[in-house]
């Protein structure tokens, strides 16, 4: 018993000595480790602002996140005692996620951008960190649009990553320019902070209001508009839009069907046999590909389209009239099929019940996009 007691005391003593030793080593090495980390950070910042003599960490007083884009750290670059610009580390969703260092000078110009992390698809999304894509932001003014198809050239096959990286750079650069203007006398910009839109489905009420502004709505009987073409698409409900004078302004049809998984659309049809547009009410498709149907860049393409168009998706149908969402051909095909059927049935209803314009449909055969079976 005494032997065990002595052994326990000995082990306890060793433990105390070890803990004290570890604490001593930590206290001795922590400043060295911190200094090394700080030097490593400054080295990375120096690459973006080689003319800077030092960098002041202002992360604690920098702006909060812009939607899904977070600002991790922020540094003011100084030369002597004068601020010459700013570097912001920002993280946001791309196809997966990316973290970038964005450098901005005192004249609201992006001087350089560098990725510190990129988890997007190798060979596609990761190309956003490479020339020539990333180079187009060097020298770009903060107040530019930063919009793919306008002043930003997207990478083919990586549209989602391209748009997202442009949004991260824009958000970080704008916040940097705003901070420098308010705190260091840099050039002031115009307008408000960029809004980082979160893609989300519409409610039925919001969708109807956008497609048929300043109209009142009445729900039609369940048998007023039915799918007589292809039963895999369900037209679950329909709403007649009336103008202030009581005339029929169009009909909004709720269509449910297969996309990559499944989606519910609101399709607006006008009495002149064109579409008021499309809004997505629900989808279970991929968050990074199929859900691009929630983007205004996609659904705004259909406003004014004739109900008698082919609604066939390229490149599956080379002569088609609808461009596929990059990487989401099946989702686009499903949307196109629902659009075509809803447009056809809505136009027939408006023609028979409200004197709408007749459209020249190629009803025989009524061709839809062939959606491949999913395993």
If asked whether residues 144 and 256 sit together in one domain, one would say: no
pTM: 0.62
Q: What is the pLDDT of residues 155-189, one digit of tens each?
A: 987 888 898 899 999 999 999 999 999 999 988 87
Based on the number of CB atoms within 10 Å of its own CB, is 135 exposed (0-12), middle (13-18) or buried (19 or more)?
A: exposed
For residue 128, pLDDT beyond 70: yes
Same domain, 253 and 134: no
Determine, yes or no, domain membership for 154: yes
Round to whole Å and give the CA distance between 264 and 143. Answer: 37
Q: Is the dihedral of CA 13, 14, 15, 20 positive or negative?
A: positive
Within a domain: residue 61?
Answer: yes
pLDDT at 30 over 50: no
- Do residue 163 and residue 241 come from a single domain? no
Structural domain that includes position 234: 204-354
Same domain, residue pair 230 and 109: no
Type and span of the H or E element at 323: strand 322-323
The single-letter DSSP state of residue 134 is: G
Say whether pLDDT at 235 is over 90.
Answer: yes
Answer with the one of 122, 156, 184 that is the final residue of a domain. 184
Give the chain's domain count.
2
Q: Is the peptide bond before 121 cis (omega within 30 degrees of 0)?
A: no
> Is-contact 334 263, C-beta < 8 A?
yes
Among the listed residues 190, 176, 10, the one whose alpha carbon sits nearest the alpha carbon of residue 90: 176
């Amino acid at each position: 018993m005494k032997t065990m007691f002595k052994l326990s005391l000995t082990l306890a003593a060793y433990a105390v000595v070890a803990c004290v030793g570890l604490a001593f080593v930590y206290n001795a090495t922590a400043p060295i480790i911190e200094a090394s980390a700080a030097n490593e950070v400054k080295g990375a910042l120096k690459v973006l602002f080689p003319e800077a003599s030092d960098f002041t960490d202002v992360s604690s007083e920098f702006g909060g996140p812009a939607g899904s884009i977070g600002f991790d750290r922020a540094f003011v670059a100084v030369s002597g005692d004068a601020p010459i610009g700013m570097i912001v580390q920002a993280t946001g969703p791309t196809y997966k996620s990316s973290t970038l260092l964005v450098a901005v000078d005192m004249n609201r110009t992006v001087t350089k951008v560098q990725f510190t992390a990129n988890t997007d698809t190798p060979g596609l999304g990761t190309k956003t960190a490479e020339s020539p894509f990333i180079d187009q932001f060097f020298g770009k003014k903060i107040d530019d649009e930063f919009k793919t198809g306008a002043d930003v050239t997207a990478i083919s096959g990586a549209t989602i990553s391209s748009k997202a990286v442009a949004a991260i750079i824009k958000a970080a650069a704008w916040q940097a320019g705003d901070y420098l203007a308010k705190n260091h006398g840099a050039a002031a910009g115009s307008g408000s902070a960029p809004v980082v839109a979160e893609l989300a489905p519409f409610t039925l009420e919001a969708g109807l209001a956008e497609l048929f502004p300043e109209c009142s709505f009445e729900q039609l009987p369940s048998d007023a508009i039915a799918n007589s073409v292809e039963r895999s698409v369900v037209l679950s409900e329909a709403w007649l839009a009336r103008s202030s004078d009581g005339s029929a302004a169009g009909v909004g049809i709720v269509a449910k069907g297969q996309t990559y998984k499944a989606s519910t659309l609101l399709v607006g049809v006008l009495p002149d046999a064109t579409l008021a547009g499309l809004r997505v009410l629900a989808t279970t498709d991929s968050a990074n590909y199929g859900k691009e149907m929630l983007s205004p860049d996609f659904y705004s393409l259909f406003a004014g389209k004739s109900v008698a168009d082919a609604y066939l998706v390229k490149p599956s149908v080379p002569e088609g009239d609808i461009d596929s969402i990059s990487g989401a051909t099946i989702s686009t095909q499903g949307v196109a099929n629902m659009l075509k059927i809803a447009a056809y049935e809505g136009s027939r209803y408006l023609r028979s019940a409200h004197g709408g314009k007749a459209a020249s449909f190629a009803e025989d055969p009524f061709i839809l996009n062939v959606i491949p079976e999913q395993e």
